[in-house]
Chains A and B, each alone.
Chain A
Amino acid sequence: MQISEDALKQAYRQMKTIRMFEERLHDEIMTGEIAGFTHLYAGQEAVAVGVCEHLDYNDTIASTHRGHGHCIAKGCDVRGMMLEIYGRADGICKGKGGSMHIADIEKGMLGANGIVGGGPPIVVGAALAAKLYGDGRLAVAFSGDGACNQGTTFEAMNLAVVTNAPAIFAFENNHYSEHTGVAYAVGSKDIASRAESFGMKAWRVDGCDFFKVYETMGEVVDHVRAGKGPAAVEFDTERFFGHFEGDPQNYRGEGEIARLREERDSIKIFREHAAKNKLVSKKDLDAIDKEVSDLIDKSVEESRAAAPPTAEDVLTDVYIDYI
């Protein structure tokens, strides 16, 4: 696996940004300053970053209701995202979208999505457009183990195969669909085999280890860019927080979260691997931690002080024109 030190530092920076963004939101939501429903991505960082490290600016992704990580990994402005989650006028969506609807088309981010299974059909469209552009671009649908049970996802996988669309179905199996276990809700137990049954090649990989994700995604992206049709990947990953902020999580096993944080922490795994293989120095990684911490502090501080939208803003941005 070839990856430069700079690229590794960038990957770590993004993973750490996601982690600190989410940990900080978890704390700030407790203060009551942030309205609405928020679903945190902490624990799954290696997936978003390991996938997006292989993408160019004109590749597109569609995300889920747990979308902050995908946005950050695809290059959305962190400050703009924080402002949006605080519901501010200068937020990335002017305070009209909120946590579940962050998008930035310029960055190829087609939107987080409040509807489970909403993204995969949209990604097939983006992949069909990619095919028409003819420059090797592709589109990635991030979905959870919940969305893998939606009919929209099945329709999207079949249509992608039928049209040989350059789409990647990235299934993040964090073992919980909201508050229900995969053991109950996913009849086949295994998601990748579902994708295979639609006629596409599928991979399975540990989604808590950036290096494994990155290596696997290299093969997946090569396959799709070569015009060999859509592909799927099932990532075995972990969700550190509840389904939404405020979820009492009384469905978790005793000591489960502590164990996941000890054994399955993507940041810890990254650092251990980097140290063992002498890829990036501890000093450099510590410096990144500091840099990210400052960015998050500043974003929260600015968001708290920023102006909310006005009542007149309700009426704009519905149409381009409407007599």
Chain B
Amino acid sequence: MAELMLREAILQTLFAEMERDENVVVLGEDIVGGMGTEGGPEAIGGIWGTSTGLYDKFGGDRVIDTPISESAIIGAAGGLGLTGKRPVAEIMFADFLGVCMDQIWNQMAKFRYMFGGKTECPAVVRMIYGAGLNAAAQHSQAPHGILTSMPGLKVVMPSTPADAKGLLTTAIRDQDPVIFLEHKALYAEKGEVPEGEYTIPFGHARLAHAGEDVTIVAAGLMVKFATKAAQGLAEQGIGCDVIDLRTTSPLDEEAILDSVENTGRLVVVDESPPRCGLATDIVSLVTNKAYASLKAPPEMVTSPHTPVPFARELEKAYLPSPGKIADAVQRTLAWK
């Protein structure tokens, strides 16, 4: 085990997979940084620190620094995947999904199905998402709900450095297109990461905290907040299961239902707005399949139905927080 930041775990995984398999290719805007400048390649080394040194090690044919052209980046990833390569594309901010949606939604997600199962596109699209850095409405969104609704995609949301490694390795080796969502506010998060070969299967949630009274379901950064809330509640004698989904597609329904059948109470935490999203999806699952176990109406802690605001005070009000989660837990317990 080594203690790493989440961003370091991503970088090390890319290094290891590129070394292991020559078919792994990475591409994206400024992933090399400095191309065509006096500073030269690697002058920046990727703005997130998740691709630093890859160009020097693997060269420009496998580490492709692209212009600001998201449709071309994702389309190229699709074409590389269709013709035998394993592309890992980076979308610098997940919000830019808006300018490459077609290549994700209509193209790579559907190749296998449209072409009668005779085609595979093993592409990974890394997207840096989420609020918390006051980056405002077009650089802070959490679009996992939209992506999870698309058949043909797998959607991954790691919450710890160890999971980032295990899940990214699985993503790169998977035969389907995978959206890999990295929360920018988790990049400096530290944690123990297993050394050597480490994979985590998709569709298997992780129990981040254990308790008997309430089930809290979360993904990505929200797992950190939910765990913090659960730790505070534990001091007051309230026990919470915190289920870290790890992947929203496929979804580990069993882990959620088993826990709710035990606790009888559900709080779903979701960073995105409340309508047609992950929270409504999970509440619907539980009310359909574990209705008899429920002792109180499920609670949702989500962002409001607004764009992500800029000012510190506004963004704080926008995002779910450990306090808001703890309040929701108390509401489910107080319900008569």
Interface residues of A (CB under 8 A from B): 60, 62, 91-97, 101, 103-106, 110-111, 113-115, 118, 120-132, 139, 151-152, 155-156, 158-159, 162-163, 316-320, 322-323
**Segment with Cβ contacts to A, from B102-110, B141-149, B216-224, B273-281:** B102-110
Check if B152 is an interface residue, CB within 8 A of chain A. Answer: yes
**Residues of chain A contacted by B83 (CB below 8 angstroms):** 60, 105, 110, 125-126, 129-130, 139
Residue of A nearest to B252 (CB): A323
Contact of A105 among B27, B67, B82 (CB under 8 A): B82
Q: Which of B73, B107, B152 has the most CB of A within 10 A?
A: B107
Residue of B nearest to A126 (CB): B79
Determine if B79 and A125 form an interchain contact, defined as CB atoms under 8 angstroms apart: yes
**Residues of chain A contacted by B73 (CB below 8 angstroms):** 159
CA distance A4 to B112 in the complex (A): 38
CA distance A159 to B89 in the complex (A): 14
- Fill in one digit per residue for B85-126: 1 if any A CB lies within 8 Å of its CB, else 0: 101000000000000001100110001111111111000000
**Residues of chain A contacted by B76 (CB below 8 angstroms):** 121-122, 124-125, 128, 159
Q: List 22 A-B contacts (CB under 8 A).
A: A60-B82, A60-B83, A91-B116, A93-B114, A96-B115, A97-B114, A105-B83, A105-B118, A106-B118, A115-B106, A115-B107, A118-B106, A121-B76, A121-B103, A125-B76, A125-B79, A129-B85, A152-B71, A152-B72, A319-B112, A320-B120, A320-B175
Determine if B113 and A317 form an interchain contact, defined as CB atoms under 8 angstroms apart: yes
**Residues of chain A contacted by B12 (CB below 8 angstroms):** none
**Residues of chain B contacted by A93 (CB below 8 angstroms):** 114-116, 118
Determine if B111 and A132 form an interchain contact, defined as CB atoms under 8 angstroms apart: no
Check if B69 is an interface residue, CB within 8 A of chain A. Answer: yes
**Residues of chain B contacted by A113 (CB below 8 angstroms):** 107
**Residues of chain A contacted by B324 (CB below 8 angstroms):** none
CA distance A202 to B47 in the complex (A): 36
A128-B64, A322-B250 given as contacts; is B116 within 8 A of A122 (CB)?
A: no
Determine if A155 and B71 form an interchain contact, defined as CB atoms under 8 angstroms apart: yes
Interface residues of B (CB under 8 A from A): 25, 27, 61-62, 64, 66-67, 69, 71-85, 87, 102-103, 106-107, 111-120, 151-152, 154, 174-176, 202-204, 250, 252
**Residues of chain A contacted by B154 (CB below 8 angstroms):** 319, 322
Determine if A101 and B79 form an interchain contact, defined as CB atoms under 8 angstroms apart: no
CA distance A105 to B85 in the complex (A): 14
**Residues of chain A contacted by B103 (CB below 8 angstroms):** 118, 121-122, 152
B87 to chain A, nearest CB (A): 7
A132-B61, A162-B66, A316-B117 given as contacts; is B80 within 8 A of A121 (CB)?
A: no
Contact of B112 among A95, A131, A318 (CB under 8 A): A318
Determine if B80 and A129 form an interchain contact, defined as CB atoms under 8 angstroms apart: yes
**Residues of chain B contacted by A139 (CB below 8 angstroms):** 79, 83
CA distance A48 to B115 in the complex (A): 21
Determine if B119 and A103 form an interchain contact, defined as CB atoms under 8 angstroms apart: yes
Determine if A101 and B152 form an interchain contact, defined as CB atoms under 8 angstroms apart: no
Residue of B nearest to A151 (CB): B71
**Residues of chain A contacted by B176 (CB below 8 angstroms):** 319-320
Contact of A124 among B72, B106, B151, B174 (CB under 8 A): B72
Residue of A nearest to B253 (CB): A323
Contact of A159 among B66, B87, B106, B118 (CB under 8 A): B66
Determine if A118 and B102 form an interchain contact, defined as CB atoms under 8 angstroms apart: yes
A124-B79, A320-B176 given as contacts; is B72 within 8 A of A159 (CB)?
A: yes
A129-B79, A318-B152 given as contacts; is B66 within 8 A of A103 (CB)?
A: no
Residue of B nearest to A118 (CB): B107
Contact of B202 among A127, A317, A323 (CB under 8 A): A323
A148 to chain B, nearest CB (A): 15
Determine if B203 and A323 form an interchain contact, defined as CB atoms under 8 angstroms apart: yes
**Residues of chain A contacted by B116 (CB below 8 angstroms):** 91-97, 317
CA distance A126 to B321 in the complex (A): 45
**Residues of chain B contacted by A318 (CB below 8 angstroms):** 112-113, 151-152
CA distance A320 to B72 in the complex (A): 25
**Residues of chain A contacted by B67 (CB below 8 angstroms):** 155, 158-159, 162
Residue of B nearest to A96 (CB): B116
CA distance A106 to B71 in the complex (A): 26
A103-B115, A122-B107 given as contacts; is B79 within 8 A of A110 (CB)?
A: yes
